[in-house]
Chain A
């Protein structure tokens, strides 16, 4: 028997419909928080396999880290700079501790385990997950400024999309005049701030910070400095190119702001009532 619509055998047609339907359901479920996703239930029997895979990732990460450390140690031995290195790391630690003291929100510090290939979605994997209180949409920063946002979490690791990757958008403002716009990245990693008022007085070197208008990233986190300004008369707005403060391709330690983004559906309900 053949299906009427596609000229496929009926059995084959049914399998196509079922599997494509299930796949689309999975894509919809992916929008849930990890704890509430049906995929999490599906994954329970496969937890040992998942742990095994995470273990392999950790082993690869440790092997890489080990080889880097070994080469560094050799250099240090030749230069007799072990003490300088210790001093540097102490200063780094104290810088992070001071940063955490000064910062108004609670921070969780995490290490970068690996950078992901763009074919795997890009971003980085950090070694803190839901056990440390991390959840999706939390903002990731460094002492220099904004680094990215948590997109996926497991119990012991999280995926972070960096600000220089397409798909990430944040509401930003240019420090001196407070001109707001939307910051996003081009495919080649440049940061562009769009929808800036056409009469905005902006000059290279001006500081760009988060505006807090998107309600996900708190206001005032440094992002970078203005490099150049382009006018877009057809959009009645300016486009500003921004150079990030942080070298996002060589991150080692980051901090996650433990502040959940607001529940927009609840806010809308409150407004209606």
Chain B
């Protein structure tokens, strides 16, 4: 297995989520650490492990957080699978491609959750609440990945 700082990156993301992400809320938008962690795990380990990680992350958020939606395990499972399956078919090492993958992953996750929560207004909810968060999550995820690469002098995060 080639060396990559993926686990260091995940620890950094989770720690920052706990202590810092609350403070960088811009216009009500907050980076989604769950998606960042899940996307990089799925890119690193492929569709099957991506799916299993996705399910466990969704289940954990449901059991730990009172507010998580019941559709979260399904949403994270699907995102883990899709990213693991198709992420490796694109030039995922490029920051721009990672940005696009993170963006689309947040939209997919939210689409499944909104289908469960409020299917009538799916398109409106995605346009109003998810687009901004998806772009912001992409920027923060790629930025942190680049930061960890610089700190560890590695060539690739996944």
Query: Which A residues form the contact surface with B (CB < 8 A)?
Result: 11-12, 15-16, 19-20, 22-24, 26-27, 29-30, 39, 42-43, 46, 49-50, 52-54, 56, 60, 116-121, 125, 152, 154, 157, 159, 166-167, 187
How many residue-residue contacts, CB under 8 A, span A and B?
A: 95
Q: Which chain B residues border A166 with CB–CB below 8 Å?
A: 118, 120-121
Interface string of B108-151 (1 = CB under 8 A from A): 00100100111011001100111001000000000000000000
B87 on the A face (CB < 8 A): no
Q: Which chain B residues border A42 with CB–CB below 8 Å?
A: 59, 63
A159 touches B118 (CB 8 A): no
Interface string of B53-65 (1 = CB under 8 A from A): 0110011101111
Q: Which chain B residues border A49 with CB–CB below 8 Å?
A: 60, 63-64
Query: Which B residues form the contact surface with A (CB < 8 A)?
Result: 18, 22, 28, 30, 32, 47-48, 51-52, 54-55, 58-60, 62-71, 73-74, 77-78, 81, 110, 113, 116-118, 120-121, 124-125, 128-130, 133
A187 touches B124 (CB 8 A): yes
Q: Which chain B residues border A50 with CB–CB below 8 Å?
A: 63-66
Q: Which chain B residues border A20 with CB–CB below 8 Å?
A: 74, 77-78
B121 touches A19 (CB 8 A): no
B66 touches A152 (CB 8 A): yes
With contacts A24-B74, A27-B71 known, is A12 near B47, CB below 8 A? yes
Q: Which chain B residues border A15 with CB–CB below 8 Å?
A: 48, 51-52
Q: Which chain A residues border B51 with CB–CB below 8 Å?
A: 15-16, 19
- C-alpha spacing A54/B63, complex, angstroms: 12
User: Nearest 4 pairs between A and B by C-beta?
Assistant: A30-B70, A23-B74, A43-B63, A23-B73
With CB as the reference atom, state the residue of chain B lying closest to A15.
Answer: B48
- C-alpha spacing A27/B116, complex, angstroms: 9
In the complex, 22 of the A-B residue pairs with CB atoms within 8 angstroms, ordered by the A residue number, are: A11-B48, A15-B48, A20-B77, A23-B74, A26-B73, A26-B74, A30-B70, A39-B62, A39-B63, A50-B63, A50-B66, A52-B64, A56-B18, A60-B22, A117-B28, A118-B125, A119-B110, A120-B67, A121-B69, A121-B117, A125-B66, A187-B118
Task: Determine which of A23, A46, A116, A159 lies in contact with B77 in the assembled complex, contact meaning CB atoms within 8 Å.
Answer: A23
With CB as the reference atom, state the residue of chain B lying closest to A51.
Answer: B64
Q: How far is the CB of B147 from chain A (nearest CB, A)?
A: 24
With contacts A117-B30, A167-B118 known, is A46 near B70, CB below 8 A? no
Q: How far is the CB of A201 from chain B (nearest CB, A)?
A: 30
